[in-house]
Structure 1
Amino acid sequence: MNDKQHIDHKILGRELDLFTFSDTVGKGLPLFTPKGATIRRELERFIVDEELKRGYLHVYTPDIAKLDLYKKSGHYPYYKDSMYAPIVIDDEEFMLRPMTCPHHFELYLTKPHSYKELPIRYAELAKLYRYEQSGELMGLQRVRTFCLADAHIICRKGQGEDEINRVLDLIDFVCKTLGLKQGKDYHFRLSLGDRTNNEKYFKDDVSWDHAEEILRNVLKKRKSQFEEAENDAAFYGPKIDIQMINANGKEDTAFTVQYDFVMPKRFHLTYINEEGKEEEPIVVHRSSIGAIERIIAFLIEHYAGKFPVWLSPVQLKIIPIAERHVEYAEKMGDQIRSRRIRVEIDDRNERMQAKIRDATLQKVPYIGIIGDKEIDAKTISIRTRDGEDLGILSISPFIDQVTNEIEKKL
């Protein structure tokens, strides 16, 4: 097996029992195991908590909507080839949603808004569905259903630059927390429109020029290195793409920040300004941690399966040396579990060295050994997955150490 295969998320995902696929369920439809679901749940909790701290309003909207909604937004002509076939119920056509923004705009339209309320930042862990071609499917990186950490910021035109800066601050924070470095693990791409292509892009040269200049200025002021890509924008406006490289050397878009001056017109989004008159806002579309499936694929490869403690599905594997040590190991496991540390006890009828080897192969951060002397002293012998022997430790200080690593996301 070559180095790339060693860190291929599809291979590691199977070896570490994180996710699987079933032809009976369907191609491109991942099934997360309990361990994979743990990683996913930790990432989702992390991003929701962080967004709430930063003023986002989390919502829930349906995974299905009338086809008319996507025609109204203008998405349908661009996405119809990658959308699932319509579901006809009571002579109406419904679609599994490929995007969230029209749903959020309908939320905004439920009541009038004042300029004092803006910006309004709707966020959602949104389940989306896109019928990728079979040849384009690849593990968790390219699937037919995925969960996007999506948000739509409805704001005044003059607030756009500040909101985009705030989004990039959040993305930088997310990347830093995940141990990703700008320039090495990800870079920025400014995706621009084509003024001559009126079939692909909304015709409004003045708005395109303004939006592209806003995004370009934000990146320059932040001293962020970026490349420009012509004819790669969304149909409703330019965007900043955060690009990551996978183990196969292929570049994927992980997160996006998009400036939208079209959807407010299509949905007649307005707010009441200081003079009591209706005014049209702009919309910033953004994904803070991207599609959960795709970021998990990237992180599996980035860490080569050795997740930091806070993301590790099992944080401590307790190994009782003999049958007589199992009862104490189980009591200790319950004590440690009560502090929200994920513990497994390996009470199989196997040699201790075989159990240690299995825990190491599963890349469990901490391995605890329980024998007679540990029971007598009410301690635990700890070693790491890298083979470092931390010695015999008292339970409480060890628990404090691990919970500190989890809280600090180390």
Structure 2
Amino acid sequence: IAKVDLYKTSGHYPYYKDSMYPIMKVDNEELILRPMTCPHHFQLYASRPRTYKELPMRIAELAKQFRYEKSGELTGLIRVRSFCLADAHIICRKDQAASEINSVLDLIEYVASIFGLQSAIDYRYRLSLGDRKDNKKYFKDDEAWNFAENVLREVLTKRKSPFFEAAGEAAFYGPKIDIQMKNVAGKEDTAFTVQYDFVMPKRFNLVYADKDGLKKETVVIHRSSIGAIERFMAFLIEHYAGAFPLWLSPIQVEIIPISEKFKDYGQKIDSLLKENGIRSQMRDADETLGKRIREAQQQKINYMLIIGEKEIEADNVAVRNREQGDLGAMKIDDFIKKIEEEMASKK
């Protein structure tokens, strides 16, 4: 929550007021639920004088934000009214911007690779440019726009990252590199972003003293490594069609006793798995074995452990994999080791 004046200073208010929650009046102050993070981070920087030795300054936050999206615009986890953004702002010198942007793209590509996403296959780069004719939306400073757009273009070119340019897609405060992913309906949405901002330093007086003691204006790099967590989860659900790799699965192992009399042994196995950090659950023996296995398969649970008389006598479990089917009997310690190795590999 913050004073409305903060977003008027930043310039966000005219663009976002229709999607902000209603203003609350408390003790003669106008407050509003936070719709974006950047002005808050700028206040931290501006809380005291800064020197060139402190730059770049990187401020990161898992930020809860609120946007009053119209009911017709709400779309699953992609467009929601409250979301958590993996947000950061890098306040730096102008000559540091290219290096910082390159490092942000390294981070984004690393994160994407961990989740099994490949550039040019699962996502693509869009260089989002301003529309110089639209003085109502975009800050008027052709020299600053040219410099910022060229910085982003050169970073992408030097990385040999294929990209396309889109006029009129920039933020009002500067151009950006958007990482675009398609949803199942074929519509592209922005998953990650890195933005060059030359406007906020002017509005919040984000300056530093150089080595000669002279005041210089900073630039701001806005970045999000995975975007809004809710939206990214929507992308992942669609990308994997619900069949998550083991390390991402909400339920990794399902224990299926053949009948009720094997329930105690199943609970023992369930507790042992949970003690080792494995997300497991036990299915009650209230349906046929075949039906319970089919339901676990339909729910795309990675592993099923079948437990009956034979398994109890041998002190092991019968292992079934979602893709490979029956893997035979295993000692529970061996199964736990297998799971831990597979999770560590993130495959």
The two structures share one fold, judged by TM-score above 0.5: yes
Show the counterpart of 1:26: none
TM-score, structure 1 normalization: 0.83
* Cα distance between partner residues in 2 of 1:391 and 1:76: 62
- One-letter code aligned to 1:302: H
Q: Figure out how many residues of one structure are paired with residues of the other and give that number.
A: 347
Residue 111 of structure 1, CA deviation? 2.6
Q: 1:259 aligns with which of 162, 173, 196?
A: 196
Larger radius of gyration: 2
Q: What whole-Å deviation, never above 9, does each CA across 1:349-393 have from its counterpart, x for those lacking one?
A: 222112111111111000001111211221111111235211101
Q: Kindly indicate whether residue 161 of structure 2 is the aligned counterpart of residue 212 of structure 1.
A: no
Q: 1:87 aligns with which of 19, 24, 33?
A: 24
SS of equivalent to 2:72: helix
SS of equivalent to 1:161: helix
Q: Give the direction of change, closer, same or farther, for the CA distance of 1:388–1:272 in structure 2 (3 Å limit).
A: same
Show the counterpart of 2:184: 247
* Cα distance between partner residues in 2 of 1:313 and 1:267: 43
Alignment of 1:149-160 (within 5 A): 149-160=86-97
Show the counterpart of 2:258: 321
Q: 2:130 aligns with which of 174, 193, 196?
A: 193
CA RMSD between the two structures:
1.2
Show the counterpart of 1:276: 213
Q: What whole-Å deviation, never above 9, does each CA across 1:206-227 have from its counterpart, x for those lacking one?
A: 1111000000001101111111
* Cα distance between partner residues in 2 of 1:273 and 1:221: 29
Show the counterpart of 1:67: 4
Q: Kindly indicate whether residue 67 of structure 2 is the aligned counterpart of residue 130 of structure 1.
A: yes
Q: 1:380 aligns with which of 310, 317, 320?
A: 317
Q: 1:174 aligns with which of 111, 114, 120?
A: 111
Residue 395 of structure 1, CA deviation? 1.3
* Cα distance between partner residues in 1 of 2:295 and 2:132: 59
Show the counterpart of 2:244: 307
Show the counterpart of 1:31: none
Q: What whole-Å deviation, never above 9, does each CA across 1:96-144 have from its counterpart, x for those lacking one?
A: 1111000111111223322222111111111111122222221111112
SS of equivalent to 2:68: coil
SS of equivalent to 1:295: helix
Show the counterpart of 1:230: 167
Residue 323 of structure 1, CA deviation? 2.0
Residue 343 of structure 1, CA deviation? 0.8
Show the counterpart of 2:301: 364
Residue 348 of structure 1, CA deviation? 3.4
Residue 159 of structure 1, CA deviation? 0.8
Report if aligned partners of 2:251, 2:280 keep a CA contact under 8 Å in 1.
yes
Show the counterpart of 1:335: 272
* Cα distance between partner residues in 2 of 1:226 and 1:324: 61
- One-letter code aligned to 2:32: M
* Cα distance between partner residues in 1 of 2:340 and 2:53: 41
Q: What whole-Å deviation, never above 9, does each CA across 1:306-354 have from its counterpart, x for those lacking one?
A: 0111110110001111222111111111111111000101123222112
Q: 2:78 aligns with which of 141, 166, 182?
A: 141
Q: What whole-Å deviation, never above 9, does each CA across 1:146-198 have from its counterpart, x for those lacking one?
A: 11111101111111001100110111111111111111111011111122222
* Cα distance between partner residues in 2 of 1:281 and 1:407: 41
Residue 257 of structure 1, CA deviation? 0.6
TM-score, structure 2 normalization: 0.97
SS of equivalent to 1:402: helix
**Identity rate of aligned residues, in percent?**
60
Show the counterpart of 1:347: 284
SS of equivalent to 2:287: coil
Q: What whole-Å deviation, never above 9, does each CA across 1:19-55 have from its counterpart, x for those lacking one?
A: xxxxxxxxxxxxxxxxxxxxxxxxxxxxxxxxxxxxx
Show the counterpart of 2:14: 77
Report if aligned partners of 2:259, 2:285 keep a CA contact under 8 Å in 1.
no
| Gap regions ≥5 residues in structure 1 | 1-63
* Cα distance between partner residues in 1 of 2:91 and 2:11: 18
Show the counterpart of 1:120: 57
Show the counterpart of 1:298: 235
* Cα distance between partner residues in 2 of 1:316 and 1:196: 57
| More off after superposition, 237-246 vs 327-336 | 327-336
| More off after superposition, 398-407 vs 68-77 | 398-407
Q: 1:404 aligns with which of 313, 335, 341?
A: 341
Q: 2:225 aligns with which of 288, 308, 326?
A: 288
- One-letter code aligned to 1:295: F
| Gap regions ≥5 residues in structure 2 | none
